[in-house]
Amino acid sequence: MVKKIGFLLLISGFLAAAYSTALDTESVNWMMYAVAAFAAITGVFIIKRHERGTAKSATVLSANRAELSDSLEKIVGNLEDMKGAGDAIATDSLRDEIDARLRDDLRRFADARETLIHLFGLQVYANLMSNFAAGERYINRVWSASADGYDAEARTYLGKAATQFRDAQAQLQAATA
């Protein structure tokens, strides 16, 4: 309900500000514009405050903590399986394997990543997300190399991605210990 009030203030503030500038082509009713802008800014403040409170709730934090650990564990496991399979997975089908095995877990982790800040602080978040982002870039490189038929590059960067995600997993485990 609070969030709806915030959005209502934001939308009505923007519309009223636009209306106040369109009333007269020669001059602007600055008082009406200021009140409308204040309403819009108040709406943004209410929305942000509500979202911050929701993000810090114990229920969300514990659910996201489980999501972070579970998704990272599955990513590492799937990368290790793909790496261990070697030539059993054809290079051109490697991108399909990435889509099938990793996409959902990568999304789950990314959706829950803000919880890292609330639980462990900004430094842990920065360190862990640095490894996660590097691993994700390597996965993208594997996908592209697979699509273009570059077997050696795809296999090399699959190993590099696995290393980055293992490092991220170790950092998460160290933070939760």
| Fold classification of 58-176 (topology level) | Four Helix Bundle (Hemerythrin (Met), subunit A) (1.20.120)
CB 71 within 8 A of CB 103: no
- Domain residue spans of the chain: 2-55, 58-176
Least confident of 27-36, 49-58, 75-84, 86-95: 49-58
Reported as a single tens digit per residue, the pLDDT across 47-56 is 888 877 665 6
Better pLDDT: 105 or 115: 105
pLDDT score of 42 more than 80 = yes
Average pLDDT (73-95) is: 88
Average pLDDT (120-140) is: 95
Average pLDDT (80-84) is: 91
Q: Give the residue carrying structure tokens 């009030």.
A: 5
